[in-house]
Structure 1
Amino acid sequence: MEKLPEITYEELDRLNTLIDNIYGSHFTGYSPASLKRRVSRIMQLHKLSVFELRDRLTNNPVFFQQFLKDVTVNVTEMFRDPAFYKTLKEEVIPYMESFPKIKVWHAGCSTGEELYSFAILFKEANLYHRSFFYGTDINADVLEQAKDGIYELQKMKINAENYTQTGAPNTLSDYYTAKYEAASIHHALKENVFFSTHNLVTDGVFNEFQLISCRNVLIYFNLELQLKVIDLFYQSLANFGFLCLGAKETLRNEDLKRFKIVDKKNRIYQKIA
C-alpha cells in the first residue's frame, strides 16, 4: 500500500518561513498539531511531496490562495449556536443603546454569515442605523463571498431553523432574496458592513469597538498566540465593550481581572478595567 505524504514539524517550520518571505502572511502561532494535520491533508489530496508543495507555493500564487483557504477554518452558518444569539439579544444589545455610535468587529468572519446574523439582530433592535460592522479574515477569497452576501439556498434552511430558535420576531426570508438555488442578503443589511483582510497573528489594533466577536478561532492557536490575540481584543475594545468567544474558548484567570463574565456558558465578557 502506497504511503500517504505527510509533513514533519521541522518541514512545517521551514514551510512557514517560506510563506512568510513570499506572501507576508504566515501561520506562526497556530497550533502545530492542527496545522500539521491540515497541511498533510492538502498534500494527500493533491498527491504532493513536501518538495512539490514548496515549489507550487513558491511559483503559483493562485495555488497559495487555495492553500490558505484549505488551511484556515471556514466552517460557519447564520445564527450558529442559537443560545448564544439569544443571550446576545437579551443581555448585550440592550446595553448597546447607551452608545451613540456602535462599532462591531467580527474577527475571523469567514464567508460572512455570522456577521450578517449580528446585523439582523441590530436591525431588529432598531440600532442598525447607528452601527457599523467590520468583518475581517486572513483569507481574501472567503471575504469576496462575504461581500457578495450570496449563499446556497439549501443552507438557508439550517440558518432559518437557527434563527427561529433565537426567539426571532420575523422569518429569515425577510432578509434575503431567493433566486434559483441561491439566496442573496438584502442590500439594506450591507450598507453599514465592511470586509477586509486582517491577520490576527501579525496585524494590530485598527479601531475602537463596542463589540468584538471571534468565535472558534483561538482554539487553533497555541497558548502564546491566544494570549496575544486576547490582548489585541482588549486594546481594541471601548470601555465596557463586549467580547464574544466560542464555546470551546475561555478567558484565563489573569484576563478575568480585566473582564466581567456576562454569560459563562456562551463565553460573553465585558471589559471593566
Structure 2
Amino acid sequence: MELDNGAFRNLLKAVHSSYGYDFTGYAEASVKRRIIHYMGMHRINELADLQSLILRDENIFRDFLQELSVTVTEMFRDPGFYKSLREKVVERLATYPFIKVWVAGCATGEEVYSLAILFKEAGILDRSVIYATDINQQSLQIAKDGMYDASSMKAYTGNYQKSGGTGSFSQYYMSKYNSVMFDRSLKQNIVFSAHNLAMDKAFNEFQLILCRNVLIYFNQELQKRVLDLFHGSLCMFGYLGLGNKESLRFGAQQRSFEEVDRKERIYMKIK
C-alpha cells in the first residue's frame, strides 16, 4: 500500500489540530510504515476513512497513537551503556547533594527502572529524582504500574549481569502468576509525566538526561530542536546519553559537548 502524500499531510495536520500531537517532524518513512501497519490490522483502505475514525472517537485515536509511538524497550537495553554509566558517570553524579535525571521518551518504563536499580546500587537513589516522560499516556501507565511479563526476566537478568550489576536481579521484583512487579522502593524516586518532545519546553535543570533510540524517528529539524532542548536543560558538566545509532558528532551541538564514551554515546556538556 502507498499513501497519498496530500492525504498523509492532511491526516497529520488534523491530528495536531484536534489532539495537539505534532508528528510532522517525525521521519516520514517511519510514520507512513506505522500508519500502513495500523490500517492493515484494522482493514481500513483509505486515509480519509482513518482520519474520520480517529477524529470521531478518542479511544480509536489512543489506539492509533500507540501504533505511532516508539514503545520498543527492555531492561538494561545495550548493557555496555549502563556499564559505562556505572564506570564513567555515577562517580561524578555522586558529588551532587541532589541529583535530577530526565529519561525522555521512556516508553513503558523498563529503562527507567534499570536506571533506578543502577542508582540504588551506587548508593545515590535516595537523593535523586528521576523524571520519566513520554508522549503516550498508555505507555506511561504501564511504566507507573511497573508490572511486566515474567517471560522477559531471563533476558533482563542477563542484561543486568552484563551491565555490571552487583546483586541478584530477582531481589528487585516480585513474581505474581505470569507477571512480575518491580519493588516500590524503586518508584519512590521516579516521577512519571506526559511530555511531548516535538512541542513541549524545558521543565527543570538536570545532571543527566537519557533519550535513547528516540531521535532516530525524528527528521533533522526536529532532532536539532530536541538536542537544543536537552542542551538548555542540562547543568554545566551534565551528561547526555543517546542510543547506539544516534550521535552528536555531526550536529549543531557538537562543540557544546565532550565525548565521555564514543561507543556508548555518552556526552558531557562543556559550554
TM-score w.r.t. structure 2 length? 0.97
Does 1:28 pair with 2:24?
yes
Match of 1:37 in 2: 33
Match of 2:120 in 1: 123
1:13-24 mapped onto 2 (5 Å cutoff): 13-24=9-20
1:1-273 mapped onto 2 (5 Å cutoff): 4=1, 6-48=2-44, 49-251=46-248, 252=250, 254-273=252-271
Matched residue SS, 2:25: coil
In the TM superposition, what is the alpha-carbon distance from 1:253 to its structure 2 partner?
5.2
- Could you list the per-position Cα deviations for residues 153-172 of structure 1 after superposition, in whole angstroms to 9, with x for gaps in the alignment? 00111111100111211111
Question: 1:265, 1:94 → 2: CA distance?
Answer: 20
- Could you list the per-position Cα deviations for residues 140-199 of structure 1 after superposition, in whole angstroms to 9, with x for gaps in the alignment? 000000000000000111111100111211111110011111100000000011111100
Structure 1 37/253 Cα, relative in aligned 2: closer, same or farther at 3 Å?
closer
Residue 114 of structure 2 aligns to which amino acid in structure 1? S
Matched residue SS, 1:212: strand
The answer to whether the 8 A contact 1:8-1:36 is kept is no
- Could you list the per-position Cα deviations for residues 188-228 of structure 1 after superposition, in whole angstroms to 9, with x for gaps in the alignment? 00001111110000000000010000000000100011011
Q: Which moved more, 1:85-94 or 1:253-262?
A: 253-262
In the TM superposition, what is the alpha-carbon distance from 1:54 to its structure 2 partner?
0.8
Matched residue SS, 1:260: strand
The answer to whether the 8 A contact 2:224-2:251 is kept is no
Residue 33 of structure 2 aligns to which amino acid in structure 1? R
The answer to whether the 8 A contact 1:152-1:182 is kept is yes
The answer to whether the 8 A contact 2:224-2:252 is kept is no
The answer to whether the 8 A contact 1:9-1:36 is kept is no
The answer to whether the 8 A contact 1:104-1:212 is kept is yes
Residue 203 of structure 2 aligns to which amino acid in structure 1? F
Q: Which runs of 4+ in 1 moved over 6 A?
A: none
Question: 2:251, 2:50 → 1: CA distance?
Answer: 41
Unaligned runs of 5+ in 1: none
The answer to whether the 8 A contact 1:150-1:184 is kept is yes
TM-score w.r.t. structure 1 length? 0.97
The answer to whether the 8 A contact 1:106-1:213 is kept is yes
Unaligned runs of 5+ in 2: none
Residue 86 of structure 1 aligns to which amino acid in structure 2? K
The answer to whether the 8 A contact 1:108-1:214 is kept is yes
Provide the aligned C-alpha RMSD in A.
Answer: 0.9
